[in-house]
Amino acid sequence: MNAVERETSRLAALHEYRLLDTPPQEELRAVVRIAAAVAGVPTATLNLIDEHRQIQLTTVGFPGRDCDRDDSMCAVRLAEGRPVCLPDARLDPAYRRNPWVTGEFGMIRFYANAPLITPEGHVLGTLCVFDSEPRELDPVDLNRLRDLAQVIVAFFERRRQTRVTAEFAAATEARKQWAEALLDGIDVAVMALDSDFKVTMYNRAARANHDADIDLESAPEEIAERFQLYEPDGVTPIPYDELPLMVVIGGRGPVTGKQMVIRRPSRGDAVVRANARALYDAGGERITGGVVALQDITAEVTRKRLIEEARARLAAANAELTRSNADLTNFAAAVSHDLVAPIAAVGGYLELVADEMGGETAEVSGEAGEASGEAEEHVRAAMAGVERMREVIESLLSAAAARRGRGSDTP
């Protein structure tokens, strides 16, 4: 990582702590006072260095003032991440022209600091002690100054963790409320249990399936009875170890598409399709509970049953129609066959009568002749009727033969 990348990471860490331009905490003032006492100087400060500024978060012995980063003594060797101790800053070329030394901002002679280093190694600033008179600082006291700097970083870290925890809790609560609102807005019943079989989530659709005063805290062995859960026949209670939530919490899941019946005395039974999944810990190894979704398929099941019943009735009607058609065909064939012989006999007799009348007509005249003529007309009409009857019978026989040829199941 080059210098630019290190500085970018350092600034990101500094801003993550959200310390800049915030009121100083009393704990920080106390630590800075102790630092001044350890060094035996009247003045000390806690400095943070951002992109452009040195911010004096809290001070002891002087009012303090922020300044440009280029004017900061603490920023001179900040990237080294090591303590600095100058008995007389005027003697160090890197510091002698600094405005805090020259008198523009201050008259610092003795100067020492300990860097504020985060657990990730980022230098946020320094715990700084100084005096207007030159002096020495014992190495033991310099190490104590470093310890105090780490106390300050620990305070920063505790404050950051508290904020992150609060933000996480708030975000979790917001997500929980959002999830509950979402789940309450759907028509699928959703219920979740933890590994101790305690109900952790129970949405509106799930509540609608059961009495409002249902016991959610009793032993899980009674869950099928309490929630009135039955096999698809609506009569057989579902065994405890076959309940979808028990299956997945026991590590035998997931459960997909299991059909059940919920007995609802006040609303009528509901047929549901259950899908259940296990819930795991952050590592994805230990089962911490389970969730089940129950989709109401009562209308779907009822529709399928009505369709099946309609198909059964239609099949029965088709069978009856086929039988009736077969009976009609057989009847038509039998009747037609039985009519052939009598009609043939009638036709034969009429032909004989016509022949006899034809001979007699030639021998008579007058009124007798006219009567014979009318009789001949009647005979011819009768013979025409016989001929039409023969055609009808032949048509019936042909139709019956055709139906037999197509099969008796054809209407």
Query: What dihedral do alpha carbons 98, 102, 107, 111 form, nearest 10°?
Result: 30
Q: What is the pLDDT of residue 406?
A: 64
Residue 3: which H helix or E strand, with range? Answer: helix 3-17
Residue 181 in any domain: the answer is: no
Could you list the residue range(s) of the whole structural domain that residue 194 is in? 186-296
Domain boundary among 281, 296, 311: 296
CA distances from 339 to 83, 332, 349, 386, 396 (A): 132, 10, 16, 11, 11
Q: Do 88 and 146 belong together in one domain?
A: yes
Q: Do 283 and 231 belong together in one domain?
A: yes
Residue 172 in any domain: the answer is: no
Total domains in the fold of the chain? 3
Strand segments (E) across 165-241: 189-194, 199-202, 229-230
User: Residues 156, 57: contact at Cβ < 8 Å?
Assistant: no
Residue 411 in any domain: the answer is: no
Which residue carries 């009495």 as its tokens? 211
DSSP 255-320: EEEEEEEE--TTT--EEEEEEEEEEE-TTS-SEEEEEEEEEE-HHHHHHHHHHHHHHHHHHHHHHH
Residue 15 in any domain: the answer is: yes
Both tokens of 254, joined, read: 């997931």
Q: Do 32 and 120 belong together in one domain?
A: yes
| Residue 109: CATH number of its domain | 3.30.450.40
Q: Do 98 and 210 belong together in one domain?
A: no
Query: What dihedral do alpha carbons 139, 34, 78, 122 form, nearest 10°?
Result: 110
Q: What is the pLDDT of residue 369?
A: 58
Residue 151 in any domain: the answer is: yes
Residue 240 in any domain: the answer is: yes
pLDDT in tens, the chain (411 residues): 788 999 999 999 999 999 887 777 788 999 999 999 999 999 999 999 999 999 999 999 999 899 999 999 999 999 999 999 999 999 999 999 999 999 999 999 999 999 999 999 999 999 999 999 999 999 999 999 999 999 999 999 999 999 999 988 888 888 888 888 888 888 899 989 888 888 888 888 888 888 777 777 776 777 788 888 999 998 999 998 899 999 999 999 899 999 999 988 777 889 999 999 999 998 888 999 999 999 999 889 889 989 999 999 999 988 888 887 777 777 766 766 677 778 777 777 777 777 777 665 555 555 555 666 777 787 788 888 878 888 877 777 777 677 666 654 544
Both tokens of 150, joined, read: 């780490």
Residue 74 in any domain: the answer is: yes
Q: Do 319 and 290 belong together in one domain?
A: no
Residue 170 in any domain: the answer is: no
What residue type is assigned to position 1 of the chain? M
CA distances from 3 to 6, 8, 20, 209, 283 (A): 5, 9, 23, 64, 37
| Residue 395: CATH number of its domain | 1.10.287
Both tokens of 102, joined, read: 């020259």
Domain boundary among 296, 326, 352: 296
| Residue 230: CATH number of its domain | 3.30.450.20
| CA terminus-to-terminus distance, the chain | 90
Domain boundary among 253, 279, 296: 296
